[in-house]
Chains A and B, each alone.
Chain A
Amino acid sequence: MTPAYDDLPALMTLMTGDEKHGASATSTLDVIWVLYDRVLRPEDRFLLSKGHGPMAYYAVLAAKGHITEADLRGFGGPDSILGHHPDRTLVPGVEIGSGSLGHGLGLAVGTALGQRLQGSHARTVVLLGDAELEEGSNAEAIQYAGRAGLNGLTAVVVDNSSASLGWPGGIARRFTVEGWSASDVDGRDHDTLERAFAAPGDSPHVVVAHVERKES
């Protein structure tokens, strides 16, 4: 039987050994699940820019058949394909290697440009964290994607209020001022997330997915 959302915690346990998973470890879980379960088509690409804490991502990849439960059990081991940051050359279904913050959005802009140049209507969806957004490289990518009208590009910022200096006025406006459309949503509500990821208009789109504050 194909694993469902309720099976994800058990898959994560195979990696961590913990029965329970804190809000930090699962901050991206619902967003990634909704993307893989309801939004992404086979030609679409998902880029995990925030490569730190990838257990939720690996659990979804296992649930969707890209990797096996045996792969999960080896998490972080010397012969494992699964590191604490993902490597695209090792893990089936992983589009980018990430870990150093602020690289995924630029790669996603290039990917969306490449798809558009080749006449593809595939979407490129990139996941960032609210603290990751502090990296200045994101500003370059946000500005350019807006000017270029890259409507094949969707960014999702999982906001667990972990940016030390915060985002006065909210995250979405950093994108909308550059010509993006934006949705501010509950990052745990699957139906709301699905609607926020609905087919884009004529501009790049950002989904700001709010979840519980990171435990310190």
Chain B
Amino acid sequence: MMDQRERFYGLLPQLLGDDERLVAVLAEIGAGYIDPGPVADRVINVGIREQLLVGVAGGLALTGLRPIVHTFAPFLIERPFEQVKLDLGHQDVGAVLVSAGGSYDWPEGGETHMGPRDVALLDTLEDWTVHVPGHPDEAESLLRAAAAADGRVYVRLSAGSNTQPLATDDRRMTVLRRGSRGTVVTVGPMADRTLAATEGLDVTVLYAATVRPFDGGTLRATLNAPDVVLVEPYLRDTSTPQISRALQGVRRRVLGLGVGQEELRRYGTRADHDALRGLDEAGLRRSITAFLA
């Protein structure tokens, strides 16, 4: 199966062909994989210059165009964070930022290429929509919607995907399973393993491919026991404040599961890191059963 990033690279020239308002801005990453064909003038590669990557996007947006900006997560959100804050947010212009590499899609590459802090950093800024697709089909539909919108949108592409697309078109959370002893909210590529880890547990499982805005309405509407577990593929507890806001006034317990802050200084495969960080099926099951016991 073509992964989310490959789907994006194939889709990008089509999107640009269909809408003259769109311009792709790259900083080398992806430039060798995208075949721009007739839209080559609207695929701009600024080289390995990430401050300029986002600055150029802001300038293009000031002329009425809609930039689609792409590189690995740490070079898109962390290195040029002030450009994201000022050249997009403070200028009050829109853009689509599309990252690849997720939290640790290339563990052999080590800490410099890991991007678990992206969503938490964007949470410090105003008015970002954040999509975390869990399947290439979801990635395509969310990218199409982001391209057609006007605001600031972050699409976080992952190497791992669920076997089936699970997201709904209305961007609300999907009810994957209903139970009576708590709720597990799982995000993007974490869905399949969360379902496996909660097999036989009497819990509701909700799935989100769009985490900002956070769909607190579905969480409230489906809530049974006020015990909520959050399974996120990026920094642990990134969305815990969203749960608190959604359940304001309800006495509750919340467990956030995700990537820890600690630098492991370990290489290996994604599966190795899932296990090391307690984010594989066994680790999730361990944490969730202990919390609900």
Cross-chain pair count, CB within 8 angstroms:
95
A89 to B52, CA, bound (A): 22
What are 30 inter-chain pairs, A to B, with CB distance below 8 A?
Answer: A88-B92, A89-B92, A96-B62, A96-B91, A97-B86, A97-B90, A103-B82, A103-B86, A106-B54, A106-B83, A106-B87, A108-B59, A109-B55, A109-B59, A110-B56, A110-B59, A110-B67, A113-B44, A113-B59, A113-B60, A114-B59, A114-B63, A118-B63, A118-B64, A118-B65, A137-B55, A141-B52, A143-B49, A144-B46, A144-B56
Residues of B within 8 A of A89 (CB): 92
| B contact patch SS | helix
Known: A117-B42, A144-B47, A144-B49. A110 touches B60 (CB 8 A): yes
Range of interface residues on B (Cβ < 8 Å) = 20 to 34
- Chain A, residue nearest B80 (CB): A137
Please report the C-alpha to C-alpha distance between residue A136 and residue B86 in the assembled complex, in whole angstroms: 16
Determine whether the beta carbon of A111 is less than 8 Å from that of B52. no
A117 and B23 contact, CB distance less than 8 A: yes
Q: Please, which residues of chain A bring their CB within 8 A of the CB of B57?
A: 110
Looking at the complex, which one of A110, A114, A118, A136 makes contact with B55 (CB distance below 8 Å)?
A: A110
Tell me, in angstroms, the Cα distance from A87 to B63 when the chains sit together: 17
Q: Tell me whether B91 and A107 are in contact (CB under 8 A).
A: yes
Complex CA–CA separation, A102 to B86 (angstroms):
11
CA distance A141 to B64 in the complex (A): 21
Q: Which of A67-96 contact B (CB under 8 A)?
A: 87-89, 95-96
A117 proximity list for chain B (CB < 8 A) = 23, 41-42, 60, 65
Binding site for B on A (CB under 8 A): 87-89, 95-97, 100, 102-103, 105-115, 117-118, 136-137, 140-141, 143-144
Q: Are B65 and A144 in contact (CB under 8 A)?
A: no
**Contact in complex: A113, B86 (CB < 8 Å):** no
Could you say which of B41, B63, B67, B86 has the most chain A C-beta atoms within 10 Å of its C-beta? B63
Q: What is the minimal beta-carbon distance from B221 to any residue of chain A, in angstroms?
A: 37
Contact between chains at A100 and B86 (CB < 8 Å) = yes
Shortest Cβ-Cβ A-B pairs, 4 listed = A110-B59, A106-B55, A114-B63, A110-B56
The B78-120 residues at the A interface (CB cut-off 8 A) are 82-83, 86-87, 90-92
| Chain A nearest Cβ from B114, distance in angstroms | 24
Task: Select B59's contact among A87, A97, A102, A111, beta carbons within 8 Å.
Answer: A111
B residues less than 8 Å from A136 (CB atoms): 51
Q: Which residue of B lies closest to A124 (CB)?
A: B59
- Minimal Cβ-Cβ distance residue in B for A115: B63
The answer, among A88, A96, A109, A118, for a CB contact under 8 Å with B52, is A109
Residues of A close to B55: CB separation below 8 A: 103, 105-107, 109-110, 137, 141
Q: Are B49 and A107 in touch, CB under 8 angstroms?
A: no
Instruction: Contacts A88-B91, A100-B86, A117-B41 given; indicate if A140 touches B49 (C-beta within 8 A).
Output: yes
Query: B13 within 8 Å of A by Cβ?
Result: no
B60: which A residues are within 8 A, CB to CB? 110-111, 113-114, 117
The docked-state distance in angstroms from the alpha carbon of A189 to that of B80 is 38
Q: Is A113 a contact of B56 with CB atoms below 8 Å?
A: yes
A141 to B42 alpha-carbon distance, docked (Å): 18
B58: CB under 8 A from chain A?
yes
Residues of B within 8 A of A106 (CB): 51-52, 54-56, 58-59, 83, 87
Taking a contact as CB atoms under 8 Å apart, the answer to whether B63 and A107 are in contact is no
Chain B's closest residue to A108 (CB) is: B59
Q: With A88-B91, A96-B91, A113-B56 known to touch, is A107 a contact of B51 (CB < 8 Å)?
A: no
Identify the closest chain A residue to B82 (Cβ).
A100
In the assembly, what is the distance between CA of A97 and CA of B83, in Å? 12
For A97, the chain B residues whose CB sits under 8 A away are 86, 90-91
Interchain nearest-CB distance for B6 vs A (Å): 27
Q: How near does chain B come to A178, taking the closest CB pair, in angstroms?
A: 12
- Residues facing A in B21-59 (CB within 8 A) are 23, 41-42, 44, 46-47, 49, 51-52, 54-59
A97 to B87, CA, bound (A): 9
Q: Which residues of B contact A111 (CB under 8 A)?
A: 59-60, 62-63
Q: Which residues of A contact B58 (CB under 8 A)?
A: 106-107, 110
Establish whether residues B59 and A144, one from each chain, have CB atoms under 8 Å apart when the complex forms.
no
CB distance from B208 to the nearest CB of A (A): 32
* Contacts A106-B59, A137-B55 known; 5 new A-B pairs at CB < 8 A: A110-B62, A111-B62, A117-B60, A140-B46, A140-B49
